[in-house]
A and B are shown apart, each in its own frame.
Chain A
Amino acid sequence: MRITAEDLSWSVAGTPVVRGVGVDIAPGETVALLGPNGSGKSSLLRCLAGLRTPDAGTVRYDGESVRDWSARRIARHVAFVDQNTGADSDLRVADVVGLGRIPFRDRWRGPDATDRAVVAAALEHLGLTALAERPWKALSGGERQRAHIARALAQRPYGLLLDEPTNHLDVGHQLHLMELLAGTDQTVLVALHDLSLAARYCDRLLLLHHGRLIASGPPAAVLTAERLAEVFEVDAELTTDALGHPQVVYRGPLGAPVPAAPPAPRPAL
């Protein structure tokens, strides 16, 4: 499914957060949404997921404006994974993943065989089958994040919108998740902080700054030392890793004295 937005603007309490952003994500494409804290990533994702009504501009799924779509109809097309996984809930993991079937169910009906099969497949796919009966409270942050992604997959969406899904994951699970997102047929837009991870796995990067889209294109074209200095205020160097992917090496925050010795690579912010 193609997800497009034209001239999208959204503000909260009079403060513009998203300013005239246009995006066009082709079917099956995996796109990263980058930008510093407060650049409008989360808000843009929410507009595209139909969770916020933009002040101006139009969001389209396969060319059709979703402005008048019901929440349920949108939920049958795109799934959204929030960055906040906290909940003091007694739900079991299978119950949480089962929430993804709500958009397909009449309100008086319980889960049927299809629902159970889809939930089991989603659990399996995220390696959560063994935890299916585990109460939510007993999960680690990473397990919760994976359960939410399984829940999103249980929606069988055409588009997946994820807000910093790698936040609570260890490096192994981060790579696993990014492999999964890059490998799916679905149109994926994922907000990320880790620029190297984005460059490695995504077809295209979108760079937001102060609510504006300032760059869009293949990783090597978007990630330049000048841009990173301007947007993230970091002194960074673009190299190529052993596998041929663009990689960001940070020398330090902008304005800090440059160390004399060759700088040790820092972990991505």
Chain B
Amino acid sequence: MPADQNIRSGAEHLLPPALRGRALTGDTVTIPPRPGASAGSAGSAGRPGRSPAAQAVLLLLATGALAASTVAAVRVGTADVGWSGLARVLGAHLGLDVEPLPPLLDSLIWDLRLPRVLMAALVGASLAVCGVVLQAVTRNALADPYLLGVSSGASAGAVTVVVLGVGASTLGVTGGALAGALLSFGLLLALLRRTGLDSARIVLTGVVVGQLFTALTSLVLMASADADTTRAVTHWLLGSIAPARWDTVAVCAIVTPLGLVAAWLCSHALDGLAFGADTAASLGIGVRHTRMLLLVVTAVLTAVAVASVGAIGFVGLIVPHGVRFLVGPLHRVLLPYAALAGAVFLVWTDALARVAFAPREVPVGVITALLGVPLFLLVLRRRGEL
């Protein structure tokens, strides 16, 4: 704040002319809060009447809910080891002096179930936050993380590896998907290069890029794949967290928190964008830089998520709307809750995908859509938009 602002620390120029003289002769005028106004009501954090302390408690509770969900969800599956068994698995791998479980069970929990649950939490958080960010950047309520065409790029990359065998030994499916995702995002940026990154342009260009890579995916599948490969690829395209292992979890565990923090630091800008680029810029927001930064952040988060577990639909669309309905649209508050809610939602839907049709496994993307549609309709109804 420049020194000259401090001289006007009272906001005396907001006063009616009759009072203004007094403001100029006195030192400063401080405007008391309206009588009866609670701390949060005139400000802009969270829902009306919620104090900062209450907000902190709420956020802590939500974080606790995620932690509890994660632990509980590790027990859900074809084999259950009970709480003590779970404690023994964790203890043994953390180097504590406990008796390990039989190797097969231990491996099931530690090598398959645990990374899977953690991956669900990380991907859920990623997708929900990307949804929030893209809905604000494009000012479009229908925006979701796959709007940028990144998922189509990932699909094309994965199919190229699985079906055509290009780079199968070096890249693997995950690497191929990541390469495809980054390639499509590169194309998107090249097409947006000379534009002002305005909302409509981003949406249209994203759709075009997505269509191109979807067509490439279909072409490869139709031209070269046999029935079994097509089935495997379809399973992947719908999104499944089953293949999650510690190495992919590690990548997500590094990328996701960084992305979330970067997005959160743009909260004010995301709020300001609600009234268009000029109003945002007049509030001191570097609109083009911010949009570019946010596009890169969402693209990287989405690319890593899709490469790890496929294109899980609907999380990035409904969780933002649901959470906005609950905690309000200010991004400083909305983003952390969206991350937590997305994580919890995907942890439980993935648990459901494991057991609902056991021993057969349903792609979690199917479950998210099945659960998401009624939830979404419920939110729309409560908001009086349906």
Contact = CB atoms under 8 A, between A and B. Distances in A.
A82 B283 CA distance: 12
B30 interface: yes
Contact of B43 (A104, A108, A111): A111
B42 interface: yes
Contacts of B283: 75, 99-100, 102-103, 155
A40 to B, nearest CB: 16
B257 interface: no
Q: Give the secondary structure class of B's interface.
A: loop
B44 A185 contact: no
Contact of B276 (A78, A87, A129): A87
Interface in B274-324: 274-276, 278-279, 281-286, 324
B43 A184 contact: no
Contacts of B32: 117
A81 to B, nearest CB: 8
Nearest to B29: A121
A15 interface: no
A108 B274 contact: no
Contacts of B328: 90, 92, 95
A122 B44 CA distance: 14
Contact of A51 (B5, B43, B282): B282
Given A51-B281, A156-B5, A94 B139 contact: no
B270 to A, nearest CB: 11
A105 B282 CA distance: 15
Contacts of A84: 276
Contacts of B42: 94, 116-117, 119-120, 123, 132
A225 interface: no
B329 A118 contact: no
B100 interface: no
Nearest to A108: B265
Interface residues of A, number: 62
Contacts of B198: none
A117 B37 CA distance: 10
B104 interface: no
B205 to A, nearest CB: 19
B291 to A, nearest CB: 13
Nearest to A103: B284
A154 B98 CA distance: 61
A133 B330 CA distance: 14
Contacts of A121: 11, 14-15, 31
A71 B269 CA distance: 12
Contact of B34 (A73, A114, A120, A153): A120
A76 B31 contact: no
A148 to B, nearest CB: 8
Contacts of A87: 139, 274-276
A197 to B, nearest CB: 20
A253 interface: no
Contacts of B207: none
Contact of A91 (B14, B141, B330): B330
Contacts of B278: 46, 51, 80, 82
A238 B258 CA distance: 65
Contacts of A202: none
A118 B284 contact: no
A75 B5 CA distance: 12
A205 interface: no
Contacts of A110: 43-45, 52, 332
Contact of A71 (B20, B276, B284): B284
B1 to A, nearest CB: 6
Given A71-B286, A91-B329, A148-B279, 4 more contacts: A75-B284, A94-B43, A110-B45, A110-B332
Interface of B: 1-2, 5, 8-9, 11, 13-17, 20, 30-34, 37, 39, 41-45, 48, 52, 139, 141, 264-269, 271-272, 274-276, 278-279, 281-286, 324, 328-330, 332
Interface of A: 46, 49-51, 70-76, 78-80, 82, 84-85, 87-92, 94-96, 98-105, 107-108, 110-111, 113-125, 129, 132-133, 148, 153, 155-156, 183-186
13 contacts: A73-B284, A78-B282, A87-B275, A94-B43, A99-B271, A100-B283, A110-B52, A115-B43, A117-B42, A120-B42, A125-B16, A132-B41, A156-B5
